[in-house]
A and B are shown apart, each in its own frame.
Chain A
């Protein structure tokens, strides 16, 4: 096969997969698969959004749950108080998350490495405490907020959220790919490699980091808004979950944080493992599955610290050069 055909195939296959996923609900599958789809696409979208700041610039945020929760609460409040549709207000949720990221980004993005990670982790823990202590009429306090269901039957409901999350996953992945391949992404990569050197060749690191952080927070806020409507219930423990903040990091690292494909692959692998564990061992306590994630993370960091994609690329390259050497010998 020549190179041009290979390139066409490389573009065609992902779009064919997306098309298949899009038409999948119309074959009336078991509702279980639609629910898995919603969660899978959500994590692909979240992890790809996280990767823009966490993977490309190396500023590993462990506090993206804060943006997710802000989006979720915004949508819930606007629906309950004013009856605005979450499918529109999710954009407002994203904007609010972005504004919040802009405000906290200036001080927090001055910190580097583990200090940045710790500060964002604290942020992710602090925001729900603020929300739960707000007046009950506003955020529902410790009771949370219940939203009215979409007036359709459960299968149609799942199908709607399945398609929306699929669209969000595609959009987030495309944005993340654009971000990596543009001037913006090259600048972020330079910051990850060496921030002060990047500055001395004209990279405005403060502005780039803030932009990446805000863009990332916006996308996560939108996704949080849609998730809130999917669950029809928001509470600080469900939408400001620290596990979510950590999961999206693990997914990106597993797949390969320096690449745009990494989060897609990482999220897919982890969600599939998760579903297999749940269906194979129905009584499995959540702690045990978390233990298994931990084990995966340790193994990945030990044997493929740059993620699966990098690992496979290196392997392919070494095989190609070995094959080349054999050719020469013949």
Chain B
């Protein structure tokens, strides 16, 4: 078992953002997390990565309890993540952004080694031409790629991808799908991804978890989930029903 949540609950004042949620991600899986806006997807990612502390329940990474661990500890234990709203270190170069991930996340090596490792990863994600550019000057697709590169630099066992396809055109989406498979197949990294672009979910995920109001509404293969009437009602909504 790579990642497991047992009865996770997270409240913001009176709002129940995650309600008694249990889930599991196996090693080498690509699992999708979908749900309407405000259903708790990003909250779940923030809770897993330690930015939020759950009010109840437990979280396990490779069998180790991470419920009370700090974000930097969880990162060093092998969990990487990207952000829905990309957050590169804007005033630093692309290379530095990635090198920091290696220096602090994988906890080994010198600055020189980290630069080499960062260049390697930039090549892996298809950005090797731009190491000395400031992150602030990158286009959106490149910023998304940089987020992935920085997370990969921490040498994770599992990576949480928060809407890496949002705002990309079809070609860019296809490139990103190829990259996700490459991450899983070449690096053996398990993937847990939030996504709104359903066609991309259909192509990449072997299993999908559907959230609604912080609860698990359904779980199964993309085909099963998309046929589930409860999912159609809650998530796909009127648009599909009316067709």
Q: Which residues of A contact B (CB under 8 A)?
A: 181-183, 186-187, 189-190, 192-194, 196-205, 258
Confirm or deny: B127 has a beta carbon within 8 angstroms of a beta carbon on chain A.
Answer: no
Among A190, A200, A204, the residue within 8 A (CB) of B89 is: A190
The docked-state distance in angstroms from the alpha carbon of A204 to that of B151 is 16
Decide: A205 and B100 in contact? CB cutoff 8 A: no
Shortest distance from the beta carbon of B57 to any chain A beta carbon, whole Å: 20
Complexed CA–CA distance, A190 and B105 (Å): 13
Most chain-B Cβ atoms within 10 A of its Cβ — which of A186, A190, A192, A200? Answer: A200
Q: In the assembly, what is the distance between CA of A183 and CA of B96, in Å?
A: 11
Contact digits for B90-119, partner A, Cβ 8 Å, 1 yes 0 no: 111000100111011111001100000000
A283 and B110 alpha carbons, distance in the complex (Å): 56
Neighbouring B residues of A200 by C-beta, 8 Å: 49-51, 71-72, 75, 80-81
CB pair A193–B105 under 8 Å, yes or no, is no
B47 to chain A, nearest CB (A): 12
Nearest neighbor of A189 in chain B, beta-carbon distance: B92
B87 at the interface (CB under 8 A from A): yes
On chain B, the residues within 8 Å of A187 by CB distance are 100, 103-104
A189-B154 contact given A199-B71, A201-B75, A201-B100, CB 8 Å threshold:
no
When the two chains form their complex, are residues A202 and B111 in contact, meaning their CB atoms are under 8 A apart?
Answer: no
Establish whether residues A202 and B99, one from each chain, have CB atoms under 8 Å apart when the complex forms: no
- 25 A-B pairs within 8 Å (CB atoms) are namely A183-B104, A183-B110, A186-B99, A186-B103, A187-B100, A189-B91, A189-B92, A190-B104, A192-B91, A193-B89, A193-B91, A197-B83, A197-B87, A197-B89, A198-B104, A199-B70, A199-B72, A200-B50, A200-B51, A200-B81, A201-B100, A202-B72, A202-B104, A204-B72, A258-B91
Contact string against A for B residues 38-58, beta-carbon threshold 8 Å, 1 for contact and 0 otherwise: 000000000001110000000
Select one of B50, B72, B80, B96 contacting A186, CB under 8 A.
Answer: B96
In the bound complex, residues from chain A placing their C-beta under 8 Å from that of B154 are 201-202
Interface, chain B (partner A; CB < 8 A): 49-51, 70-72, 75-76, 80-81, 83, 87, 89-92, 96, 99-101, 103-107, 110-111, 150-151, 153-154
User: Are A203 and B111 CB-contacts (below 8 A) given A187-B100, A187-B104, A258-B91?
Assistant: no
For the complex, give the distance between the alpha carbons of A229 and B154 in Å.
Answer: 49
CA distance A258 to B110 in the complex (A): 22
Give the docked Cα–Cα distance between A203 and B92 (Å). Answer: 16
Q: Which residues of B contact A205 (CB under 8 A)?
A: 72
Q: Which residue of chain B has its CB nearest to the CB of A306?
A: B91
> Do residues A203 and B87 form an inter-chain contact, with CB atoms below 8 A?
no
Q: Do A199 and B51 touch (CB < 8 A)?
A: yes
Residues of A within 8 A of B76 (CB): 202
Tell me the smallest distance from the CB of B135 to a CB of chain A, in Å: 9
The residue in A182, A199, A258 that gathers the most chain B C-beta atoms within 10 A of its C-beta is A199
Question: Are the CB atoms of A196 and B89 closer together than 8 Å?
Answer: no
User: Complex Cα distance A199/B150, Å?
Assistant: 12
Partner of A196, one of B71, B92, B111: B71
The residue from A181, A186, A192, A196 contacting B100, defined by CB atoms under 8 A apart: A186
Query: Are B101 and A201 in contact (CB-based, < 8 A)?
Result: yes
A258 to B80, CA, bound (A): 28
> Roughly how many angstroms separate A182 CA and B51 CA in the complex, as a whole number?
27
Closest B residue by C-beta to A204 = B72
Kindly provide the distance from the CB of A104 to the nearest chain B CB, expressed in whole angstroms: 22
Which A residues lie within 8 Å of B100 (CB)? 186-187, 190, 198, 201, 203
| Chain A positions within 8 Å of B50 at CB level | 199-200
Known: A182-B111, A186-B99. A202 touches B105 (CB 8 A): yes
- The answer to whether B89 touches A199, judged by C-beta atoms less than 8 angstroms apart, is no
Decide if B151 touches A201 in the complex (CB within 8 Å): yes
Q: Are A189 and B89 in contact (CB under 8 A)?
A: yes
B93 to chain A, nearest CB (A): 11
Residues of A within 8 A of B83 (CB): 197
> A181, A192, A196, A203: which contacts B51 (Cβ < 8 A)?
A196
| A311 shortest CB reach to chain B, Å | 14
Q: A186-B103, A187-B100, A202-B105 are in contact. Are A193 and B90 (CB under 8 A)?
A: yes
A310 nearest CB neighbor, chain B only: B91
B72 is contacted by which of A183, A194, A203 (Cβ under 8 Å)? A203
Inter-chain contacts of B87 with A (CB < 8 A):
194, 197
Q: Which of B51, B71, B103 contacts A183 (CB 8 A)?
A: B103
- Bound-state CA distance A183–B110 (Å) is 8
B71 to A194, Cβ gap below 8 A? no
CB < 8 Å neighbour of B111 from A183, A192, A193: A183
Residue among B92, B110, B151 facing the most chain A CB atoms (10 A cut-off): B92
A194:B89 contact, CB within 8 angstroms: yes
Q: How far is B153's CA from A202's CA once the two chains are assembled, in angstroms?
A: 10
